[in-house]
Amino acid sequence: MSYKFTQHYKEDFEITIVKYNFMKFETFFRTRKDIVSCELCKTDFKKEDDTCLAFVVKKKNLLICNKCADKAVEGGAEKRTEW
């Protein structure tokens, strides 16, 4: 017998800037194998997906999908398409 406990923790991210069209996931994955899904909604990226980069206050930047990027911008984050 064993008891399985699943931790459901909540973490807040304060996103200030969203950089759209950061790079194709295929390109990103060539150098970074540790991220395979959107870091917010955990949807798996497909090779051909565009990724966005979210700048988070006091935390590392997040690689996120277009849907989460739109949500962040609607919520008040600054949208950037150029560096």
The smaller minimum CB distance to Zn ion, of residues 5 and 51, is found at 51
Size of the residue set binding Zn ion (CB under 5 A):
5
Does the footprint of Zn ion cover residue 38 (CB under 5 A)? yes
Among 18-26, 44-52, 59-67, 75-83, which window interacts with Zn ion (CB under 5 A)?
A: 59-67
Q: Which of 68, 72, 73, 77 binds Zn ion (CB under 5 A)?
A: 68
Does the footprint of Zn ion cover residue 54 (CB under 5 A)? no
Beta strands in the chain (DSSP E): 15-24, 50-56, 62-64, 78-80
Strand order in the sheet with 78-80: 62-64, 50-56, 15-24, 78-80
Please state, as a whole number, how many other Cβ atoms lie within 10 Å of the Cβ of residue 54. Answer: 26
Q: Site residues (CB under 5 A) for Zn ion?
A: 38, 40-41, 65, 68
